[in-house]
Amino acid sequence: MEVYTAEELCYVLKENAFLLDKSIVGKRLIEWLDEECGLKELAKELCRCLDRSVTLSDFVMTILEYVGLYEEPILQKTRELLRQGENLTSYEKEKSRIDVLVQQGKYVQALKEYDILLKELPEVENLLSARVLHNKGVAYAGMFQFSRAAQCFYRSFEMYPFQETYLSYLAAKRMQLTDQEYVDFVSKQPEAYEDSMELEKRVEALRRSWQERERESQPDKYLLIQELKQQYRRNCGEFQ
């Protein structure tokens, strides 16, 4: 990512705090701040940081505090994210970076990079592999490819049997199948009954929440739709 000012650098550091690693700690960045930005005092302080072998968090916060672009609440949050990120492996940071692509709706790119990461992960990283497969399922679901989403969720569940992953699997199957097909599917798996009931509770809660938001945002339109529904039901009853 190209930056041209110290303020742009601070923005990039803050926005990617959780993903940063020690590769940014070095003389190249210090020289850029000195020669291109004219921040000689900051460059000297960062050189002293290198001599003291400070943590990534201290190095980045030295830059953010010196430039003064952000107020203390934002600095505190960034400091916490940096400390959390310091405990992550390179594989976990790579997963977190790809997760951002999913959150941004860049599903195709995310799926390609998840596949690359899965190939790189050693066998001992079963838990991380399961989490990556789960998020592949989320990406497929975002593309309405519910069959593939269900496959990813189930593979993840087989590796690590988390209830939330199984609920995601059932949700994908519910979206993939017709109502009758889904009922038949669940009935053939007695162990899925309680989870399927939990899923229905969540679906109903989401439906009520959505209806409430619709009622609040467009009360007249909502009431009209409800009235039309009641009239339709009455007419259907008369035809019977």
- Which pLDDT tens digit goes with each residue over 101-156? 898 899 999 999 999 999 999 988 899 999 999 999 999 999 999 999 999 999 99
Output the six-digit token pair for 136.
Answer: 């592949």
Residue 18 confidence (pLDDT): 80
CB 96 within 8 A of CB 30: no
Residue 222 clears pLDDT 80, i.e. is over it: no
- Residue where the block lists tokens 């010196």: 66
Tokens linked to 2: 């190209």
Rounded to the nearest integer, the mean pLDDT of the chain is 88
- The whole-number pLDDT of residue 240 equals 37
- In terms of C-beta density within 10 A (0-12 exposed, 13-18 middle, 19 or more buried), how is residue 96 classed? middle
Lowest mean pLDDT among 46-55, 65-74, 81-90, 227-236: 227-236
Res. 238: pLDDT tops 50: no
Q: Is the pLDDT of residue 239 over 50?
A: no
pLDDT of residue 198 exceeding 80, the answer is yes
Statement: residue 223 has pLDDT above 70: no
**What pLDDT is stored for residue 189 in this prediction?**
86
- Strand positions, DSSP E, 45-166: none
Maximum pairwise Cα distance, the chain: 86
CA 172 to chain centre: 18
At position 190, the amino acid (one-letter code) is P
Tokens standing for 38?
Answer: 């004219």
Question: What pLDDT was estimated at residue 16?
Answer: 87
pLDDT value of position 7: 95
Residues listed for the chain: 240
Instruction: For residues 160-179, give the mean pLDDT.
Output: 94
pLDDT at 30 over 80: yes
Q: Is the pLDDT of residue 100 over 60?
A: yes
Helix (H, G, I), strand (E, B), or coil: what is residue 140? helix
Where do we find the tokens 């009209």?
224
Q: What pLDDT digit, counting tens, does each position of 34-55 carry?
A: 999 999 999 999 999 988 888 8
CA 112 to chain centre: 16
Cα separation, 103 vs 89, in Å, equals: 21
Looking at residue 56, what is its pLDDT?
87
Q: Taking residues 65-82, what's their average pLDDT?
A: 92
Task: Supply the pLDDT for residue 219.
Answer: 62
Rounded Cα gap, residues 142 and 102, in angstroms: 8
